[in-house]
Amino acid sequence: MPDRPRRLAHLCVDVQNMFAADTDWQTPWLNRMLPAIEALVERDPEATVFTRFVPPSSADRETGAWQQYYERWPAMTSERLAPEMVDLVPALKRFVPPARVFDKNRYSPWLFGDLDRTLRGEGVETILITGGETDVCVLAAILGSIDLGYRTILASDAVFGSANQTHDAALTVLDSRFGEQLIVRTTAELLEHWDELAWS
C-alpha cells in the first residue's frame, strides 16, 4: 500500500439479515446485489465502514413520527426481532475486522457517532456508497456526504431497494440532478480504477 493516507472510504449501508430474511422489511433485491457489494468490500475491507440500522426496543422508546413509524411496524422493534436480525449478512460480516461497523437509528449515518470527524481524521476525501435501500438510507447517506463536501461515488449496481419503481426513480434523480457532485459508476468500473480512487 502507498505510504500515505487512504483517501477513500467505502460506506456500505445496512446490508443486514433483517432486510435479507423473511421479515416485514425484507428487500428481495438484496441477495441479487450482494455479489457486487461483496466484490467491492473484498477489494479493500480496511476501507469499509458498514452501517447497521438498529431499531428501538419498542415504539414507546421513540418520539413523534418515529414512534408512529414503529407503531406501524411493531414486529421490527428489537424486543420482537431475533438479535441476529440486526447483524450484517454472513457474506459481509466475515470482513469485520478489519472493516468497521457503525450503528445508527435513523436513515442518515451522519447524524450520530462522529462518522464525519473520524473519516476526516483519517484523511478520507471520497465516499463510495453501496447497500440499501436506494430510496431511503442510501439516499440519506448520499445527500449527507454531498452536503459535507466529500467526493461522492454511487455504485449503481451495488444498491438495492424493495420496490422497483422507487429504486429506479431514485437512481434517475441522483444521476440527473446531482451530476456535479455525484459520480455514478458500475462495480466493474470501480474495481478497474480502485487504486486511483483510493489513493490519488
pLDDT at 192 over 80: yes
Question: Does 132 map to a domain?
Answer: yes
Q: What is the CATH number of the domain that holds 168?
A: 3.40.50.850
Question: In the prediction, which pLDDT does 1 show?
Answer: 46
Question: Does 109 map to a domain?
Answer: yes
What does the block give as the cell for 36? Answer: 457486487
- Enclosing domain of residue 28: 8-199
What does the block give as the cell for 92? Answer: 459481509
Question: Does 1 map to a domain?
Answer: no
- Total domain count, the chain: 1
Concatenating the DSSP letter of every residue in 90-141 gives HHHHTTTTTSEEEEESSS-TTSSTTHHHHHHHTT--EEEEEEE-TTTHHHHH
Question: Does 145 map to a domain?
Answer: yes
As a whole number of angstroms, the distance between CA 134 and CA 132 comes to 5
Question: Does 59 map to a domain?
Answer: yes
Using one digit for the tens of pLDDT, what is the confidence trace for 13-62? Answer: 999 999 999 999 999 899 999 999 999 999 999 999 999 999 999 999 99
Question: In the prediction, which pLDDT does 139 show?
Answer: 96
pTM: 0.94
Phi then psi for residue 25, to 5 deg, are: -110, 20
Question: Does 2 map to a domain?
Answer: no
Question: Does 188 map to a domain?
Answer: yes
Question: Does 158 map to a domain?
Answer: yes
* Choice between 130 and 194, residue whose per-residue pLDDT is larger: 130
Question: In the prediction, which pLDDT does 130 show?
Answer: 98
